[in-house]
Chains A and B, each alone.
Chain A
């Protein structure tokens, strides 16, 4: 194999976290290499090192046998390395041509350049409307403009970061077609993706990463999907059941428990046509913890928002304890006893410039318990906050402090305490242990178990699979906006979950 790009022993650490650990890679021109891995496996870090956003702590990158030092994205372009990010960097008010030529010296922006852009479009069968500003384009066309921008700069290595995740289903096939042409012209393409079927279709080899290490670089054609998913999940003996001691000793008899939440046939489609949720069906019983696993960005957050009222579904119904709430406002759902711990506690779950005690009250300030004689009672709020601060051991224990003065774990305790207290029927938690240390994680899990024990249905959405398996009575796996399967954590395998997390549902059944 002709060595075009050679990566040897590359490592990168952030504090004590080794994001990349001794990464080695050989690649040749005209090849498409898929990069597969869970969240935090190091895929994006590797890409960032290649395009100069990060400098590696150790190791070398060789291009055509010559060691290169990519100090910035501009330097990466000089070496012919480009990347298409999930979030495009285009100027909405400008046309495709202007976006492609932006930043180039004047002499390179003449008619010849414009002719070359059209030539590139022809070469790759790219349909681009050159008459409208980029803001008016569909996502797929914007993506093509981004790729043209890179091609115009003569990249020979193109990194695509989850390129199909933003596309509408109908846009995927033409996009893959374009990538195939790119590879045929001798470009080296890295294709970061979770979608095994796409990897199957487009990639020559798949590089599987886990915990910053390369677990294997395998030819796609001869590697079974099961093996890919097993390597990704880090389970060598893939057929063994996931050994997750389920600490919920009293197993719940779901056949007899009342239904706390029934989500039926719920879909959510964005204005640009992307299907975020597709015909989601879920049943959650009172007293049950239903885990929702999946790789980040597969519709889990939107599912939580549709249930709690922050987003409105395009179709389908939601029943809370048998009562339809599909059209109710957020405030009405709060009043119905739905607790919600959102993913981003800083931006959403808390108001950092308010005091701790005000943070206990802000989500339902008009509730009777916070009022006295038609006015907000600072005393009542203070009393409730003080009790919660004591019960949850929130430190520092002064509820008059601004919430910004507390550590992440203690801030999360505020959100949890507030929402647990509110949850009479349903508690929806999203990433409740994100960024917490072991002790705080344990505490959060215990509180969630306790609230389930008291008869509340808990929807536990997290990308941390270990935590989901540990706490849940049942686990629903989401992929690409669908529930791809509901499993019992005690008698499933990680390989099975891995397949559910990456494959399209038709292949699973």
Chain B
């Protein structure tokens, strides 16, 4: 689909989600405009609020890129969450095992270790998909739970800090902590890192043969084969890249925010990444914006509850609505002569969905 049409549709889908959410707030007995004003003001225009948004946006952005790259090769990576956990584990283990390196060497090596961990975790479903034809959605999803429990075991057992009241590891060396970009806040350089990754991936897909060919496999696998592109290797490559991006998100949580490995340290960022990816219409350069938007919703929800009294779970509903509407926007018929709104409602939600049109198989 024309990416411009797609982005326009996604924008409409967002508006629809916020509108329906607004009615929910209204039924709850509050003024939706006031609620949204607080929500967005607090998460984007307030210094502390924005720092909070940035903290959440960093892992979301990398997790989003971890969905985008495999998806561009036609593989749906739902395993971002698990890859974050394993990445965090690898990063933390490296940081704890080698605490005395200079930061300029240690930090890149921690990222590298985390990337390797995430990539290893993604390599399993990648191999099964490419060479055994196993559905990657199921494998990546189920492996998330395995990964979460591996980390829980690690921090409750071998990595448990001495005298810890709660399952967490020792602190990583101070030198390895990511720099703070907004003074006195928690906002670390993770988002800047994600932003540079987004830029690199955008250029890679658009201006290098290997990136172009990865995209080709997702658009039309048979045409890619006709162009001599090895589909199996491309799937593996895309998943390894996705896994390492998510793995680095795990490292960012460890050395950017918490400075330790906690059990349950990622609060569903891997799944948020799916929303980030589709909101961005699978374009890496748009992902930072959609990550900020989604992080803002989530960061402002608490403040909104305190200030207006709207239950913060309304925002979770809005996030759910965003997913539903964006999904509808992506599968709605392509006939762009119909008004977009009508198309979305009639074609996307209630009509027959020609899902296969997304790929020209």
Contact = CB atoms under 8 A, between A and B. Distances in A.
Contacts of A354: 219
A292 B209 CA distance: 35
Contacts of B225: 310, 330
A342 B150 CA distance: 50
Interface of A: 309-310, 329-331, 333-334, 340, 342, 344, 346-354, 362-366, 371, 375-376, 402
B242 to A, nearest CB: 21
B223 A351 contact: yes
B298 interface: no
26 contacts: A309-B228, A310-B225, A329-B228, A330-B228, A333-B228, A334-B228, A340-B226, A342-B226, A348-B226, A349-B223, A350-B223, A351-B216, A352-B360, A354-B219, A362-B223, A363-B226, A363-B228, A364-B227, A365-B227, A366-B209, A375-B207, A375-B208, A376-B207, A376-B208, A376-B209, A402-B2
B222 interface: yes
A349 B212 contact: no
B220 to A, nearest CB: 5
A347 B216 contact: no
Nearest to B1: A353
Interface string B215-239: 0100110110111100000000000
A376 B216 CA distance: 14
Nearest to A405: B2
Contacts of A375: 207-208
B226 A331 contact: no
Contacts of A353: 1, 219-220, 360
A351 B360 CA distance: 8
B258 interface: no
A331 B228 contact: yes
Nearest to B2: A402
B361 interface: yes
B107 to A, nearest CB: 29
**Interface residues of A, dominant DSSP:** mixed
B52 interface: no
Contacts of B220: 347-348, 350-353
B223 A348 contact: yes
Interface of B: 1-2, 206-209, 212-213, 216, 219-220, 222-223, 225-228, 360-361
Contacts of A348: 220, 222-223, 226
A55 B13 CA distance: 43
A342 B361 CA distance: 15
Contacts of B223: 347-351, 362
A33 to B, nearest CB: 38
B226 A310 contact: yes
A142 to B, nearest CB: 20
A331 B223 CA distance: 13
A345 to B, nearest CB: 10
A402 B360 CA distance: 13
What are the nearest 9 A-B pairs in CB distance? Answer: A331-B228, A330-B228, A366-B209, A363-B227, A375-B207, A351-B220, A365-B209, A348-B222, A376-B207
A329 B225 CA distance: 11
A492 to B, nearest CB: 34
A376 B212 contact: yes
Given A330-B228, A352-B220, A346 B360 contact: yes
A373 to B, nearest CB: 10
Contacts of B206: 376
A352 B1 CA distance: 9
Contacts of B226: 310, 330, 340, 342, 348-349, 363
Contacts of B360: 346-347, 351-353
A365 B212 CA distance: 8
A328 to B, nearest CB: 10
Contacts of A349: 223, 226
B218 to A, nearest CB: 10
Contacts of A330: 225-228
Nearest to A305: B226
Q: Residue among B206, B220, B222, B226 with the most chain A CB within 10 A? A: B226
Nearest to A355: B2
Q: Which of A353, A363, A366 has the most CB of B within 10 A?
A: A353
Given A362-B212, A366-B209, 8 more contacts: A310-B225, A310-B226, A330-B227, A330-B228, A334-B227, A340-B226, A353-B219, A365-B212
Contacts of A310: 225-226
Contacts of A351: 216, 219-220, 223, 360
A352 B361 CA distance: 11
Contacts of B209: 365-366, 371, 376
A340 B225 CA distance: 13
